[in-house]
Amino acid sequence: LMVRLLEKQKRKTNLFVTLAIATFGLHLLTLLLLIIQGLTIRQLSLQKPPTFVELVDGKPVNNQNELERKPEVIQKFVSQTMESMFDWSGKLPVQNVNQANNPKKDLGISIRTLQGGSKKVTTSSWVASFAFSEDFRKGFLSTVAELTPPEVFSSNSNQAILAELNITRIYPPQEIEPGKWRVGMVANLVQKRGKDKEIVTPFNKDIFVQAIDAFDYPIATNLTDLQKAIYKTRSEKLEIYEIRELCLTDKYDNLATDGFNRCRNR
């Protein structure tokens, strides 16, 4: 009898051990699956969002290569960005029809210059600066602040200075490497105060552009007009990362359309 009881107890013990081992094994399997799932989710969160479409004159264009951009898109991006950067009208960017008929006065935005002082740039310049790469933006915005006359923000119409960038030509983009292009721009910075004669300054630049990723704003209802404008600027999925002098040795209209004429010694 004693032997039978011992055998029954041994079988029960073996059953409990088997169940414990099986349960432990299931826990390990579940933990492993959770780890794999977590790593997969993390990998997906770190992946770059694909560029499915880009717009040319408001029309969607299929784009299978994430680094590919249409020449027309790049030229339009450069043109709009540079015109906005040097839009010194003294008025805030128009956001709706009512503002178009009665634009608000631009008080400017103060920034720290590279010299350590504080100067103002127009709101349009500040918004446009987000189309530049982060490491280039601060220095270039400081340069624009140095160029911006304080009279741009004057409330006296006779003393206020108006300025705009008149682009004469944007050259076809030259691809440097995948996702990077060089674009030549021939333009003049035109400034005028009241009835004074216009001051025209040549502004010929080699502009270097690269493809980037862009993310939509999470909660559109909580954004200000300025924040919406900044997100719209970044939604182009392009940014300017360098600007150099474009040295012309002849009038731009005599140059070949497929290249630039640059000074050998910069």
pLDDT at 7: 60
Q: What is the full per-residue pLDDT of the chain (266 aa) written as tens digits?
A: 555 655 656 566 667 777 788 888 888 889 899 998 888 887 766 665 555 455 555 555 555 567 889 999 999 999 999 999 999 988 887 766 666 677 788 889 998 887 778 899 999 999 999 999 999 998 999 999 998 999 999 888 777 889 999 999 999 999 999 999 999 999 999 999 877 889 999 999 999 999 988 766 666 566 777 777 778 888 888 999 999 998 765 444 444 444 444 454 44
Q: Tens digits of per-residue pLDDT, 44-98?
A: 666 655 554 555 555 555 555 678 899 999 999 999 999 999 999 888 877 666 6
Sign (positive or negative) of CA dihedral 256, 246, 79, 135? positive
Answer whether 262's CB lies under 8 Å from 247's CB: yes
CA 174 to CA 63: how far, in whole Å? Answer: 19
Task: Tell me if residue 53 falls in helix, strand or coil.
Answer: strand
Among the listed residues 184, 262, 186, 175, the one whose alpha carbon sits nearest the alpha carbon of residue 210: 175
Instruction: Residue count of the chain, please give it.
Output: 266
Q: Which two tokens stand for residue 227?
A: 């924040």
Task: Tell me if residue 2 falls in helix, strand or coil.
Answer: helix
The 3-class SS string of 193-232 reads ECCCCCEEEECCEEEEEEECCCCCCCCHHHCCHHHHHHHH
Task: Tell me if residue 257 falls in helix, strand or coil.
Answer: coil
Task: Tell me if residue 174 falls in helix, strand or coil.
Answer: strand
CA 143 to CA 51: how far, in whole Å? Answer: 33
Compute CA distances 188 → 156, 214, 249, whole Å. Answer: 26, 31, 16
Element (H, E) at 161: strand 161-170
- For every residue of 80-130, DSSP letters joined together read HHHHHHT-B-SBPPP-SHHHHHSPPB---EEEE-TTS-EEEE-HHHHHHGG
Q: Return the ∠ at Cα 136 (arms to 133 and 138), rounded to 5°.
A: 110
CA 228 to CA 226: how far, in whole Å? Answer: 5
